[in-house]
A and B are shown apart, each in its own frame.
Chain A
Amino acid sequence: MLRDWTKYRTTHPTGDLNKDHPEYKWAMAIDLDACTGCNACVVACYAENNLPVVGKKKFLHGQVMHWIRIERYWNDEDIDIPHQGAQFMPMLCQQCEAAPCETVCPVGATNHTPDGLNSQVYNRCIGSRYCSSNCPYKVRYFNWYNYPEQENAWPDPLPMQLNPDLTVRTKGIMEKCTFCVQRLYEAKSKARTEGRLVKDGEVTTACAQSCPTGAITFGNLVDPYSKVGKMWRQQRVDLSKDVQDKDRDGNPEGIRGYRVLEELRAYPSIMYLERVRDTQA
């Protein structure tokens, strides 16, 4: 321990991406101008990640379990007749580099993986729910009930659809979007056997794969040739900044990239591209 003391004293993000994450840093770019709010990603997530269907009564109590949700806001200006349509927002775990949820977990059930993911170990969780109360985006979902057993969320033969690559979570456990870590794991393992790194486009999340307009781009930020990396650089969004340089002077050249609630200094790994509306129309 004393030998490499400095290793234990570093903080993230250091500003040098390759130093923080030598191999992988999974990240997303979501184009809000392409997102039509069709909910394909939501269903894909249910299918991939064994999310329980909670039913009307529990939904009423706000106990729904969707890891990714489509939010619909209205414009404050034309509230009577929304001439510019609605505003859609796919909100999922932002996999923050400095995640507020990680530090507060009493048992360390949620940590930061070398791939820059915000891991959640279901088995370790004791359900203090501190992580969720500290999450600015409120994208962590808690198993208020024993859905598989007592609530019978999967009557036979529906359990046959369950994905064996993840557990079915029981009551009292916090869960959240994992960037489909089971897919990432498979791809990494395959690449490793072939003695290489995962190539761009080789693996993607369920939501990104299903999105009909391809609004969601997923990839490895460290990989210089990855699409997502290009987009981040193009939009001049720096993972390790809480105020982007382009925004300091009011973003005159109109670059669309931004991150939600960036000023909270959680350094989220999901970049959104601003929705566009034509003022002539």
Chain B
Amino acid sequence: MLILSPLKRNCRYDISAPDSERGARRGKNLTRFLCIVRGPLFVHLFAVSLLYVGSSVFGISVAVAGNKVEQPIEFPHDIHAAKMGINCMYCHTYARRSLVSGIPPLQKCIGCHQSIPSVRDKPRIKKLFEYWDKKEPIPFKKVHDEPEFVRFNHERHIQRFYFWQKRPVQEVCGFCHGDVKTFTVAEKVMPLTMGWCNSCHQKDHLINNTSSETGHGPHDCWDCHK
């Protein structure tokens, strides 16, 4: 496999790379390890005994999770989410209605900012209005980008944890997206690997905040794989 892997690279459509590649790119091995050692007792023992296998396969490295992404406009989440305390879904308005949460439309930013003269001359805001005048979308970079064979449904998670369980929105979104209050530009802090998803999907959660009835996430391959 090692000999052949260089050949493999030229196959852009291949929908899953060896884990060693992923691991090499950015390690979230601590969480990976946690994923391993949860579950049946024997799997636990087995995992410990075979950790060296694991490490060889998904290349353990001590790189910190998440990496800064260059964005055309350094959107300050800290100001909006922390200082202003704006609900995430005020801007990411599609999250509760669709699979994708969506980058807020430019209109949204302008809607408020044209009535906030105090910050109009800040460089970022200037840039923003430049785009608006050109009627061009801001070419933001995707920060949390699942592989395209994964169907992650924002609507379902928001419905379950925000609307039914009535958890605070920052907690609900933050579970996967990290504590945005502390970021300017969003960073990927969680591994978002299959094992990580499973670690949560196999837990029992309350159905809603009224009843004590619980249930766990779907176990059906086709719920997350497309």
- A residues within 8 Å of B by Cβ? 1, 111, 113-115, 117, 119, 121-124, 146, 148-149, 165-171, 173, 178, 181-182, 185, 189, 192-193
Contacts and interface: CB of A to CB of B under 8 A. Distances in A.
Nearest to B42: A1
Contacts of A124: 221, 225
B13 A182 contact: no
Contact of B156 (A115, A119, A192): A192
B135 interface: no
Given A146-B11, A149-B13, A189-B155, A167 B222 contact: no
A208 to B, nearest CB: 19
A181 B151 CA distance: 12
B226 interface: yes
Interface in B126-153: 147-149, 151, 153
Interface residues of B toward A: which range? Answer: 20 to 34
A114 B222 CA distance: 10
B148 A167 contact: yes
Given A146-B11, A167-B226, A193 B159 contact: yes
B194 to A, nearest CB: 9
B12 A119 contact: no
Contact of A165 (B15, B155, B219, B226): B226
B206 to A, nearest CB: 16
B40 interface: yes
Most chain A CB neighbours (cut-off 10 Å) among B11, B40, B156, B221 = B221
Given A167-B15, A170-B13, A170-B15, A113 B220 contact: yes
B155 to A, nearest CB: 6
Given A122-B149, A189-B156, A193-B155, A149 B11 contact: yes
Interface in B210-226: 219-223, 225-226
Contacts of A119: 220-222, 225
A124 B159 CA distance: 29
B14 A170 contact: yes
A49 to B, nearest CB: 11
B15 A146 contact: no
B156 to A, nearest CB: 6
A149 B12 contact: yes
B56 interface: no
A185 B155 CA distance: 12
Contacts of B222: 113, 117, 119, 121, 178, 181, 185
B225 A189 contact: no
A102 B198 CA distance: 22
A254 to B, nearest CB: 38
B16 interface: yes
Leading 4 A-B pairs by shortest Cβ distance = A170-B13, A123-B149, A113-B220, A119-B222
B159 A192 contact: yes
Interface string B165-181: 00000000000000000
Contacts of B11: 146, 149, 170-171
Given A185-B151, A185-B223, A168 B159 contact: no
A223 to B, nearest CB: 19
Contact of A148 (B13, B220, B225, B226): B13
B15 A111 contact: no
Nearest to B223: A185
Most chain B CB neighbours (cut-off 10 Å) among A146, A149, A165, A193 = A193
Contacts of B159: 192-193
A113 B223 CA distance: 9
Contact of B225 (A114, A123, A192): A123
B15 A113 contact: no
B220 A121 contact: no
Nearest to A148: B13
